[in-house]
Structure 1
């Protein structure tokens, strides 16, 4: 007989479960149309206007093929615009459209609420620790 492992002792399983909780909250309270990954793209563009697609992918922690599809979809929806760089006409940069800025503005409050909701299950001191540990794991280069 094969020995079964205790999944709740494995980081990948726990991260996936946390992502499932977050996705359910996102869909119920933030948006059914805009994913949290698309939100990250819109938010990054608000923080870094006129950024190229490669840099956007790096800052939003998305791979090239995913960012390509996502930018195309957001552009088709009228939230993102691809334009030639003012000084270097060979470069294409991305920016939020006015509709994209309004959309992001409306998504931020509920996104903040679900972030707070997820953290509220932890004690105040554990919240800071959890965020610190998750950042450490997310920023590690284990590959």
Structure 2
């Protein structure tokens, strides 16, 4: 005779990574909106940051560095181009690919956005003792399944 199945035990959401990650994502979005505004998304900022740091790159190279899918990359780059923050040109080495470079306006806007993005990070980490920042980043990278690439300076 089979013994009855055990009663399911409900999750305690304060102890489930997925729930906590969702809450952190919501908090990040709220802090980003309050600090940076809604004129640029975190993904668009990541594109500007990558091109500022590395110089002109192909859309594919940027999407690999910021770990976003190619359709999100293309859509975000298109928005940045309409805002005159980047210039997209056909890659002479591969006519199917676009190269992205910052415009003069993009460099100026990036400098202003960088200060605001730094403030977002400061606000998010304000819940931690400064000695815990590196450990928190390491845990977040592990949970996300990504590791820093020292050559690219990107995650």
Gaps of 5+ in 2: 1-6, 148-155
More helix by share: 1
Give TM-score, length-normalised by structure 2: 0.81
The count of aligned residue pairs is 140
Aligned partners of 2:10 and 2:145: how far apart in 1?
31
Are residues 89 and 106 of structure 1, via their aligned partners in 2, closer, same or farther at CA, if it must alter by over 3 Å?
A: same
Aligned partners of 2:114 and 2:140: how far apart in 1?
21
Runs of 4+ off more than 4 Å: none
1:38 positional shift: 0.9
Q: Which residue of 2 aligns with 1:74?
A: 80
Larger Rg: 2
Gaps of 5+ in 1: none
Q: Which residue of 2 aligns with 1:8?
A: 14
Instruction: Report the aligned-residue RMSD.
Output: 2.0
User: Secondary structure of 2:144's partner?
Assistant: helix
**What does residue range 1-143 of structure 1 map to in structure 2 within 5 Å?**
3-85=9-91, 88=93, 90=95, 92-140=98-146
User: Secondary structure of 2:28's partner?
Assistant: helix
Aligned partners of 2:60 and 2:34: how far apart in 1?
31
Aligned partners of 1:120 and 1:11: how far apart in 2?
20
Give TM-score, length-normalised by structure 1: 0.87
1:52 positional shift: 0.7
